[in-house]
Structure 1
């Protein structure tokens, strides 16, 4: 069964520009690279892998339009992160949206390379961190 997210991959026509954009967003350089083909970052509390692949290697049926599944990354201050993404040139996909009364809030943007990046405040994520002593 699924045990946890291992790697999220985004595609970009301009791989170098995408690497630079995400390096600026994450505040770190990629830790792994395949020249001309792939860059990978480890980010967040669990060092999840975030990869950027040269779009030339995308599956033939892959859409060039934003859409599909959205991975929502937990953030502590959704407004600040959303604003930072917009400052860096991302476009709003879904505005900051409260999901009921349990503390879940989501938003998403389209990065300058056509990928949807989701963010959220997620009380369950914080509960897991607290249980592992990582909070």
Structure 2
């Protein structure tokens, strides 16, 4: 049923500031834009979509504070990525946390716009990447 993450959507009261912040974090400009409403980035090995949406278009009942599910993006160096996000103004949401044997490590931040951004070192991700890119 679920085939893969297609788009994750974040909301921001200040859309232009969010576009600027995520451009700095990701090192790429949005590939699609509806100024005043929506910016979309393609990122990572599979060019997944990260959409930044003007909060005025959020669904009825959407909360303006962090909560709910956390989507973790694979990173090669969790500590450096975490420090980079904090240096750019994000706030720690969950600390750097090893899981199981320590091969899986997660952390998350709240971006300056109230969204939770999870990061993870995940050997399973790297295994799948190797298999799919060598096929």
1:51 corresponds in structure 2 to: 51
1:77 corresponds in structure 2 to: 77
1:21 corresponds in structure 2 to: 21
* SS of residue matched to 2:10: strand
Query: What root-mean-square deviation, in Å, do the aligned CA atoms of Structure 1 and Structure 2 show?
Result: 0.8
More displaced 10-residue stretch of structure 1: 97-106 or 70-79: 97-106
Unaligned runs of 5+ in 2: none
1:36 corresponds in structure 2 to: 36
**What is the correspondence of 1:123-134 to structure 2 with a 5 Å cutoff?**
123-133=123-133
- Distance across 1 between alignment mates of 2:98 and 2:54: 35
* SS of residue matched to 1:129: helix
- Distance across 2 between alignment mates of 1:66 and 1:93: 9
Per-residue displacement from partner, 1:4-37 (whole Å, max 9, x unpaired)? 0000000000000000000001111100011110
1:103 corresponds in structure 2 to: 103
Give the Å deviation of 1:133. Answer: 2.2
TM-score (norm 1): 0.97
2:120 corresponds in structure 1 to: 120
TM-score (norm 2): 0.97
Per-residue displacement from partner, 1:94-122 (whole Å, max 9, x unpaired)? 00000010500000000000000000001
* SS of residue matched to 1:42: strand
Unaligned runs of 5+ in 1: none
- Distance across 2 between alignment mates of 1:102 and 1:37: 41
How many residues are matched?
Answer: 134
The answer on 1:5 being equivalent to 2:5 is: yes
